[in-house]
């Protein structure tokens, strides 16, 4: 069993850390929110008062933080992980952040003699609780091989996407495509309805024809055809629109830095921004169908 330091015990990090505890590891958790640390201690973890206390005897460190600036601060700031951890520590950052920060921080960790992966996830809070997340990993073969047994406790699909930052690259490209396909699926259902075509009938045809995609077959934005989709519970998330907006904003930055023209991704960002301004931030991202329905 390993000594693990876990930093960031929020909606995702909390249940991920719980699963490491349930698997028998000695996990010390720290979060700026005292409530999150208390909850974790109640679930069998060890409460730490600060980053140093969480990682001083750790062989493995996992971070699950809101954004790139938090990751940079926690790893590279004064008393950050890169300086306080023992050389050779395995570091796994599962936050969703920009590719550039991921690559910078991993390079600094490698220089200090650590092994570090960027390992963002998909699967949301349900997947975090069930231990069924998908991890998209970037980093060396050694870091990936070392991290895999721990990631397998928290997830179901563990994919090595290549070198440092490639996990974030996979996540940002996937989620930009998801946003575009969701808006396209919403548009198709809205137009089908206005042309007099029943939603279920359209689903039966398109879900087995060339229009088929995950946004239709798993996450259908109209109630009925896929009973488990958020549309059947008034668009309770699921995957909140604010989260999708965050990922589209990361995609915009990635498109700029990689000099890639992504007109559909850019339009999806604008539409999700409008939906948030109209009060949709906490709704599931498939709820954008209601916003689109109100336009002509």
Q: Which is nearer to ligand NAD, 175 or 206 (CB)?
A: 175
Cis ω before 238 (30° cut-off from 0): yes
Q: Which is nearer to ligand NAD, 117 or 192 (CB)?
A: 117
Q: Which of 69, 171, 252, 296 is catalytic?
A: 171
* Residues 6, 30 contacting (CB under 8 angstroms): yes
Q: Which is nearer to ligand NAD, 178 or 271 (CB)?
A: 178
Contacts of 126-132 spanning 24+ positions with Cβ under 8 A: 127/155, 127/156, 128/11, 128/12, 128/14, 128/15, 128/16, 128/19, 128/154, 129/15, 129/18, 131/19, 131/155, 131/156, 132/156
Distances 9 to 55, 272, 291 between C-alpha atoms, Å? 14, 28, 33
Please, what is the minimum distance in Å from the beta carbon of residue 243 to ligand NAD?
Answer: 6
Q: Which is nearer to ligand NAD, 133 or 199 (CB)?
A: 133
Distance CA 95, CA 106 (A): 13
- Confirm whether 171 is a catalytic residue: yes
Q: Which is nearer to ligand NAD, 23 or 243 (CB)?
A: 243
Nearest C-alpha neighbor of 285 from the set 238, 227, 218 = 238
**What residue has token string 């075509």?**
197
Distances 223 to 68, 124, 216, 268, 281 between C-alpha atoms, Å? 36, 21, 11, 22, 20
Give 44's strand partners: none
Q: Outline where DSSP puts E strands in 119-163.
A: 121-122, 133-138, 155-162
Give contact residues for ligand NAD (rule: CB under 6 A): 7-13, 30-33, 36, 64-66, 70, 73-74, 95-96, 121-122, 124-125, 239, 243, 246
Please, what is the minimum distance in Å from the beta carbon of residue 34 to ligand NAD?
Answer: 10
- Classify residue 86 by its DSSP letter: P
End-to-end CA separation in angstroms for the chain: 59
Distances 81 to 26, 58, 64, 169, 184 between C-alpha atoms, Å? 18, 11, 13, 23, 43
Q: Which is nearer to ligand NAD, 80 or 225 (CB)?
A: 80
Copy the structure tokens of residue 52. 């140093």
**Which residue is closest to ligand NAD by CB?**
10
- Supply the residues annotated as catalytic: 171
């Amino acid at each position: 069993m390993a000594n693990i330091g876990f930093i960031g015990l929020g909606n995702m990090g909390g249940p991920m850390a719980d699963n490491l505890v349930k698997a028998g590891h000695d996990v010390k958790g720290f979060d700026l929110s005292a409530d999150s640390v208390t909850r974790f201690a109640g679930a069998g973890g060890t409460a730490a008062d600060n980053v140093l206390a969480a990682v001083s005897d750790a062989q493995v460190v996992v971070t699950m933080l809101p954004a790139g600036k938090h990751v940079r601060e926690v790893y590279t700031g004064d008393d950050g992980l890169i300086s306080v951890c023992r050389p050779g520590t395995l570091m796994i950052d599962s936050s969703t952040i920009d590719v550039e920060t991921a690559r910078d921080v991993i390079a600094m960790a490698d220089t200090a003699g650590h092994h570090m992966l960027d390992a963002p996830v998909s699967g949301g809070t349900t997947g975090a609780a069930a231990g069924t997340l998908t991890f998209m990993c970037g980093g060396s073969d050694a870091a990936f091989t070392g991290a895999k047994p721990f990631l397998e406790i928290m997830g179901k699909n563990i994919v090595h996407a290549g070198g440092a930052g490639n996990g974030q690259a996979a996540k940002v490209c996937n989620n930009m495509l998801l946003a575009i396909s969701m808006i396209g699926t919403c548009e198709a259902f809205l137009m089908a309805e206005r042309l007099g075509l029943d939603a279920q009938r359209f689903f039966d045809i398109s879900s087995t024809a060339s229009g088929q995609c995950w946004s239709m077959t798993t996450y259908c934005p109209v109630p009925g055809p896929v009973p488990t989709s958020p549309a059947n519970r008034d668009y309770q998330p699921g995957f909140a629109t604010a989260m999708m907006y965050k990922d589209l904003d990361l995609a915009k930055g990635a498109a700029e830095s990689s000099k890639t023209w992504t007109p559909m991704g850019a339009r999806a960002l604008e539409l999700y921004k409008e939906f948030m301004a109209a009060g949709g931030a906490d709704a599931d991202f498939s709820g954008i169908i209601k916003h689109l329905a109100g336009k002509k």
